[in-house]
Amino acid sequence: MPTSGPAVPDVDPDRVHETIERILARPEFAPEPRSWVERARDEVVERFAELLDTVFAADAGGALGWAIVAVLTAITVALAIWFSRGVRSDPVVPARSAPSLRRSADDWRSDAATHEAAGRWRAALRCRWRALVADLAGRGLVEEAAGRTAGEYRRQVAAAAPAAADAFDAATALFEDAWYGDRPADAAQAERLRALSERTLEGVGSRQ
User: For 56-77, how does the pLDDT look when each residue is reduced to its tens digit (9 = 90+)?
Assistant: 565 555 566 666 666 666 676 6
Same domain, 69 and 160: no
Domain end position, chosen among 52, 84, 116: 84
How far apart CA 73 and CA 76 sit, in angstroms, is: 5
Query: Among candidates 145, 11, 125, which has minimal Cα distance to 65?
Result: 11
Residue 102's pLDDT is what? Answer: 73
Q: Residue 95: inside a domain, yes or no? A: no
Domain end position, chosen among 55, 84, 113: 84
Domain end position, chosen among 51, 84, 117: 84
Q: Residue 94: inside a domain, yes or no? A: no
189 C-beta neighbours (distance < 10 Å), count: 20
Q: Residue 193: inside a domain, yes or no? A: yes
Same domain, 54 and 114: no
Same domain, 63 and 20: yes
pTM metric for this prediction: 0.54
- At 205, the pLDDT band (50, 70, 90 cuts) reads confident
Q: Residue 154: inside a domain, yes or no? A: yes
Statement: residue 207 has pLDDT above 80: no
Q: Which domain holds residue 17?
A: 13-84
Same domain, 156 and 193: yes
pLDDT in tens, 98-137: 344 578 999 999 999 999 999 999 999 999 999 999 999 9
Same domain, 80 and 27: yes
Residue 171's pLDDT is what? Answer: 96
- At 156, the pLDDT band (50, 70, 90 cuts) reads very high
Can you say how many angstroms the Cα of residue 70 is from the centroid of all Cα atoms in its chain? 20
